[in-house]
Structure 1
């Protein structure tokens, strides 16, 4: 093979590495809120703040939100979405902790029924990521079926409660989601290149990274599962599917917001510019 013949391959590899670099950098920018929350978890694990750890994390979460809003990193509307996710997360936390699904072993005054108020920020971080990703990747969704997605997202959230006394139908809901998302694509930009991926794949990827984040959170002692009381061990892989399902409700909320903002559906003219990969 001559040097001349290898040049297209090298250019191709260089272009792919450039896109990968842009993807990683943009993802990190979308994760600023989440990274800051986990940094606060690490600091409060290592340093005594002089108040209960969970109280310190609540103060940190409020401060992070305020700074991101004040600097313009998060818009007022996005802060509203973060607050909504915080409340949804607290509702789930109150129920799950009462059922013994997991616990918060540290101390804090700002707690309700064993659930620290800071815990909602972990769900808020998901909302922040979705809002940031929509803006920074210039996301557009095609083939989206709003009504089935909303119904299934509510069913997935409800199943986290009802499976404690009824059948657990998460796998049935997951299959129905795959059907509802058939031929639904997420179109996104990396620099001047337009790419796409199936929406179902995006959910699985987000669920995987949330599972990794949960491992970090439990390792830092921010909360723990019953099998982690004696010593830390990795969170069961089954939680990956749970996170993927929970993300669907987060996505539907943000998607509805973006739809009313007029940026949800791609215009016919935009589709001609989408790079098929």
Structure 2
């Protein structure tokens, strides 16, 4: 009975951490079948998602620090979207006033939703890590992964070399997470794979609902290539690196303030 209770608590916190991603897919689903009058679909999606973010912040479901991380990911994702659309990797065929260089502004929220999940699940499961490789190796690897999304259009694709580096750099890194009073752990690279797989599933739902289209989906929708899982695997790594570094900076700052206050 106890394992079932643990699983239910774990599932509850995972579900609560997915509130913003679920809001995105719910919005995509509703707007794909319900036409909102006097406004383009992409514009409506942006307004709805801004409202959701405001509600989550005001209700305490997200903290101010988490909103800052989400904003960072929104701009990182939007920059990548603009480049990828320009290179013809995919497109947003519907009209909108809130498009920037062919990319609707709501698209950044799809990347931000990954950051939202990371921040929420970190807080709800009281996560920590052991064997973190440190600031410089993790940030250099994260930067190389991000820029490879751009440079592979004009240079060789180093995706698989970077994937090998991930397993080397994070070979000693484990996630510690807590469900009620019991602590569990798993290799960080396994967590990357699991989250990347679920994002790939979400991508299939999103393209089916017309959030964007790959060139081979214009005539009829079909499943997104399994090769995309590797892209999401690498994107998740960027998310975890940034969130983890911000969490560590905040923890060190709190420890420093606590040490200083003890002498006042």
Q: TM-score, normalised by structure 1?
A: 0.89
Q: Which residue of 2 aligns with 1:172?
A: 161
Cα distance in 1 for partners of 2:80, 2:100 equals 13
Q: Which residue of 1 aligns with 2:242?
A: 253
Q: Find out whether 1:32 has 2:19 as its counterpart.
A: yes
Residues 140, 263 of structure 1: 8 Å contact kept? no
Aligned mate of 1:113, from 77, 84, 101:
101
Aligned residue for 1:165, secondary structure, equals coil
Shift >4 Å, 4+ stretches: none
TM-align CA RMSD: 1.2
Cα distance in 2 for partners of 1:256, 1:123 equals 18
Aligned mate of 1:203, from 186, 192, 213:
192
Aligned residue for 2:185, secondary structure, equals strand
Aligned residue-pair number = 251
Q: Which residue of 1 aligns with 2:85?
A: 97
Q: Which residue of 1 aligns with 2:144?
A: 155
Greater Rg by CA: 1
The Cα of 1:70 is off from its aligned counterpart by 0.7
**Structure 2 stretches lacking a partner, 5+ long:** 254-264
Q: Which residue of 1 aligns with 2:71?
A: 83
Matching of residues 1-277 of structure 1 within 5 Å: 14-50=1-37, 51-146=39-134, 147-262=136-251
Aligned residue for 1:262, secondary structure, equals helix
The Cα of 1:263 is off from its aligned counterpart by 7.5
Aligned residue for 2:177, secondary structure, equals strand
Cα distance in 1 for partners of 2:175, 2:224 equals 29
Cα distance in 1 for partners of 2:3, 2:186 equals 16
